[in-house]
Structure 1
Amino acid sequence: MKATGVVVEYNPFHNGHLHHLKQSRLKTNSDVIIAVMSGNFLQRGEPALVDKWTRAKMALSAGVDLVIELPYVFATAQASDFAKGAIFLLEALKCESFCFGSEEGSMEAFRHTYQLLSTKKTEYNTAISNFMKQGISYPKALNEAYRFISESSSLPLVDLSKPNNILGYHYIEAAFQLNASIKPETIHRIVANYHDEAKPNETIASATGIRKVLFDEMDFTAIEHFLPSTSLNELQLWKSNFQIFGSWERFWPILRFVILRHTKEQLANYAEVTEGMENAIWNAAMRNETFLLFMQQIKSKRFTWTRIQRMLTHIYTEFTWEQLKNMDLPTYIRPLAMNKNGQAYLQSIKKNLQIPLVSRVAACKDNNMLELDLRATNLYYLGLQTDYGQKMIGSDYKITPIIR
């Protein structure tokens, strides 16, 4: 059986994701689609709209054959580490290819870009450092350094100011650095860009736009034309059970408590908290009753909204710099959901896996990376502050992989 991998968050699964899935299967002529999916906290440093089990069911209903959880340490990391963890898992799962959505839509430009940056690595890193010394944020420094380096090339290159292009570049970089045999492919992202707001006259919108409409209006009819009916059904079921969707605004009372129960010096021990941000975070938590006001106070040219949110995620889950240093690559494969096709594929490769397959977490002892996932899950449900959420604490021990 021929397998293709995709790296996803599905927050929530929408029509754009459905297009990507269908095109990925067609482009690679694959029998199996494997999705490596973030758990309950995401790459932009925020709680997922709905939990990983709900999003895994959305994926299965739309045509994914096997959903694997991307461990917390990679799911909440900067783009290069996020990509490294995901591509490592897809390679470990014997995928022949992986297919990502991009604004570029052409593999040629990605290859040229990787060749340029790998051959001019020293100049590129020096340029990044020089731009950061001017007080601008790391992502802006990357863009400026890339623009500077790319002036020396006449070949077609990728626009690395676009979010999906950035991730795509890091997927390819990870595959090369891991010396992986997996082959990259890309699908052109259509209609909606990552940060675009949802437009009523379209059928495809970004997940960001869909979430904004849902939070602003709390009306499913306003988003139903952006989602497969199966995704809409899952969202409605979630709302009937939990009454609320995941967001930092909802989690703020507990996050604020976690921040203020620490000293400023203690906050500096958590991953990605750097350059005195522990002081700004603690002081802003003292003064602000809402998450939005808190973020508006501490956001700066130096630190993007996303980077600050990742700091907060690690403070909330108590994930330290020391833990981060000791975790390089995924140490297990954890299936969340599969159909009969995905189950048959997993069974066919099971004996040749290089890292453990974890279907029951209780059977996996002394795995620090997995312990982080379990903690993050419990804290996610606690942050929802609902009776149903309280019942879901400990669910990683109770729920086995979903099979349909």
Structure 2
Amino acid sequence: MKAAGIVVEYNPFHNGHLHHARSAKESAGADILVAVMSGQFLQRGEPAFADKWRRTEMALANGVDLVIELPYVYATAQASDFARGSITLLEAIGCEAFCFGSEQGAIEPFLKSRQLLNKENLAYQQRIHEAVQSGISYPKAMNEAYQEVTGGQEGFADLTKPNNILGYHYIEAAERISSSMQPLTVQRIGANYHDPITEGLSIASATGIRKAFFEGGSLEELSAYLPAYSIEALQNFAKEYGRFGSWETFYPMLRFTILREKPENLRQFAEVTEGIEHLIYEAARKEQDFEAFIGRIKSKRFTRTRIQRMLTHIFTGFTWEMLKSFKQPSYLRLLGMTQAGRQYLNAQKKNISLPIISRAADLADNRMGKIDIQASSLYLLGLGSSNLKKEFTTPPIYFG
């Protein structure tokens, strides 16, 4: 059985994701589709709209055969580390190809860009360092350095686009771990990453869908953009929790967590740097809603995404020391499978290079796993759940 891998968040699973899943399986000629999926917190430093179990159900109902959780350490990391964790897991579970959605739509420009940056790495890194020292954000510094290195020539990947950036880092990560997987990409169609919902289109961005919902739209009104099972899963989630995950929902707890600490204590948390702890503390002291709070902090140097990752780590208690102590994933946490996924695991178990974990209890002595469990408990608390043991009582979802 040939397996292809994808890296996802499904926040929530929409029609664009359905297109990606189907196209990935088809382009790889695969029998099995494996998704490495972020858990309760996401790469842009946000609580997930719905928990990882509901998003697993959405995936399994729409063409994915195995869902593996990307550990918190990587799920909330900058793009290069997010990609490294994800690609390592896909390699470990035996995928023969990985496929990402991109604005580029062709794999050759990514391979050409990787070849160039390997050759010009010293000059590229020096230009990034100089640009950051001038006071601009790291993503902008990377883009400026990249534009200088490519010299405006055609044929390279456009690394100003969010999915292209991640795609480049997937290829970089695969190269660095000497992966045997074939890299593939499919064209992102419909809305762009941050676009609002557009009438008449059946594909909207997850950002646009969440924005429309939080501005008063109902799940039923969003049904044109999501597969039927996604709507059903989200309706069940709403019945269980009465709310959806967002920083507005979690802000009272985040604010308490920040104000409980002295500003200098905030420096211990991952990604908090350059004195921003004072801004974070003062903003929490003055502002009662999240948008006003983050509006006081973001700047030319600190993007919203970077700040949100800091806030995620403060909220979960994830420190610089923890971040620096991990070099690679140490397990495959199974969230769900179809019948075909189960058959694949049974057939390939001798060839899978990391232990497959199906129970949270088996992570009790694993440092990386304990961070996942802690983050999940705090996510559930942020939703107002009374069942903080859900991590231990929820088995892998079987969709057959």
Q: Same fold (TM over 0.5)?
A: yes
Residue in structure 2 matched with residue 402 of structure 1 by the alignment: 397
Aligned structure 1 segments of 4 or more residues deviating by more than 4 angstroms: none
Deviations 1:265-296 (A, max 9, x none): 11000000000011110111111001110000
Give the structure 2 partner of residue 197 of structure 1. 196
**Partner residue in 1 for 2:69:** 69
Q: How many correspondences in the alignment?
A: 399
- In structure 2, what is the equivalent of residue 280 of structure 1? 279
Provide, for residues 235-290 of structure 1, a one-character-per-residue CA deviation record: whole Å limited to 9, x for no partner: 11111221111000010010000001111111000000000011110111111001
Q: Which amino acid aligns with 1:117?
A: L
1:155 is displaced (CA, Å) by 5.2
Give yes or no for contact 1:32–1:345 (8 Å, CA) kept in 2: yes
Question: Residue 118 of structure 2 corresponds to which residue in structure 1?
Answer: 118
Instruction: Give the match for residue 264 of structure 1.
Output: 263
**What is the deviation of 1:132?**
1.2
1:180 and 1:202 mapped to 2: Cα distance? 38
How many angstroms does 1:299 deviate by?
Answer: 0.6
User: Aligned match of 2:386 in 390, 393, 400?
Assistant: 390
Taking the aligned partners of 1:69 and 1:61, their CA distance within structure 2 comes to 17
Worse-superposed segment, 238-247 or 84-93: 238-247
Partners of 1:321 and 1:363 lie apart in 2 by 25
What does the per-residue CA deviation read over 1:297-317, in whole Å, with 9 as the maximum and x for residues that have no partner? 011000000000000000000
CA contact (8 A) 2:46 2:308 kept: yes
Residue 154 of structure 1, CA deviation: 4.3
Letter in 2 for 1:118: N
**Distance in 2 between the 1:364 and 1:221 partners?**
38
More deviation in 52-61 or 235-244? 235-244
Q: How far apart are 1:354 and its partner, in Å? A: 2.1
Q: Give the secondary-structure state (helix, strand or coil) at the position aligned to 2:332.
A: coil
Q: Distance in 2 between matches of 1:318 and 1:348?
A: 39
Q: Is the aligned partner of 1:239 residue 2:238?
A: yes
With 32-41 and 21-30 compared, the bigger mean Cα shift is at 21-30
> Could you tell me whether the CA contact under 8 Å between 2:334 and 2:396 is conserved in 1?
yes
| Aligned mates of 1:364, 1:313 — CA distance in 2 | 22
Indicate conservation of the 8 Å contact 1:112/1:155, yes or no.
no
In structure 1, list runs of 5 or more residues that go unmatched. Answer: none
Aligned to 2:25: 25
In the superposition, the TM-score normalised over structure 2's length comes to 0.98
Task: Please state how far the C-alpha of 1:217 moved relative to its aligned partner.
Answer: 1.4
Match of 1:141 in 2: 141
Q: Is the counterpart of residue 166 in structure 1 residue 165 in structure 2? A: yes
Letter in 1 for 2:228: S
How far did 1:395 drift? Answer: 1.0
Letter in structure 2 aligned against 1:199: T
Q: CA deviation at 1:150?
A: 0.7
Contact 1:213/1:222 (8 A) holds in 2:
no
> Residue type of the partner of 2:397?
I
* Unmatched tracts of structure 2, length 5 or more: none
Partner of residue 209, structure 1:
208
Residue deviations 1:5-59 (CA, integer Å, cap 9, x gap): 0000000000000001111111111000000000000000000000000000000
